[in-house]
Amino acid sequence: MLAIFHKAFAHPPEELKSPAKHKTQPKLPEETLQEFLSVHPTNTFSMTFGDAAVLAYVKPNLNYSVNQRLFTSFDDIYCLFMGSLNNLCSQIKQYGLSKNTNEAMFVIEAYRTLRDRGPYPADQVIKDLEGSFAFVVYDSKTGTVFTALGSDGGVKLYWGIAADGSVVISDDLEVIKAGCAKSFAPFPKGCMFHSEGGLMSFEHPMNKLKAMPRVDSEGVMCGSNFKVDTYSRVNSIPRRGSEANWTQWDDHYAS
């Protein structure tokens, strides 16, 4: 899968951008999209939302696999999902959804609940999900981006910065390398990224994330990894109602 979001709608950590000057430079989003489509010329579906976002999806060869790939939309909300949820049945029952609801449809409903009326913070909702999963949600009405990666490492996800500052997210490492040059990193396990709340750990929501410098085999500084800093706590003011769902972690990164 491939998702690209204009910098006006998604603000990743500054440390994701490589500080090094290198002969290989990041590409523009449209170049990355065309390369992605050329690798999968017959079984790829893509959607473009003006200059705001691009979503591309490679149709699976099998109806089901451990790392199934799903793409669905509802009410102008789009979801790319990979993997599977072991507790999907109990989750759809809790949300009052039909039995034929798949993981992508469930994630959209969970997002809508958080956005509109959710009594729980987003980190608690994602923490309740069991299984190997990664998803990207784009709300085209509000321009909101919401991404998460499970903590068990069963699904891989990467993100980086394009030439124009756009955020690029994909499970294809080669696509990320080609499109973002050295300004990329693995998306941190057990974490979620939201347009308003930024990057945070849903497993340890009260701990800051620390940027860990990363050097590749050529000795070049790349985009940083992010890990939970067990010694640093987030300073936040408790909020009530839906306002608390997407908390602004103003000082979420450890110094």
Q: Could you tell me the residue range of the domain that residue 86 belongs to?
A: 2-233
Residue 163 lies in a domain: yes
Residue 246 lies in a domain: no
For the chain, residues with pLDDT lower than 50 are: 64, 237-244, 247-251, 255
Residue 143 lies in a domain: yes
Tokens read off for 23 = 């002969």
Residue 144 lies in a domain: yes
Q: Which residues pair with 137 in a beta bridge?
A: 79, 146
Residue 247 lies in a domain: no
pTM: 0.89
Residue 253 lies in a domain: no
Q: How many other CB atoms are found less than 10 A from the CB of residue 43?
A: 10
pLDDT tens for 170-206 read: 999 999 999 999 999 999 999 999 998 899 999 999 9
pLDDT computed for residue 39 by the predictor: 86
In one letter, which amino acid is 83?
G
pLDDT computed for residue 189 by the predictor: 96
Q: How many other CB atoms are found less than 10 A from the CB of residue 221?
A: 16
Strands 167-170 and 69-74 turn out to be unpaired
Which of these, 53, 73, 76, 54, lies nearest to 141 by C-alpha position? 76
pLDDT computed for residue 233 by the predictor: 84
Residue 214 lies in a domain: yes
pLDDT computed for residue 30 by the predictor: 95
Q: At 135, give phi and psi (nearest 5°).
A: -150, 155
pLDDT computed for residue 152 by the predictor: 92
Which of these, 144, 145, 146, 171, lies nearest to 160 by C-alpha position? 171
Task: Kindly report the CATH number assigned to the domain that includes residue 208.
Answer: 3.60.20.10
Residue 199 lies in a domain: yes
Rounded to 5°, the CA angle 185-188-191 comes to: 145
- Say how many domains are in the chain: 1
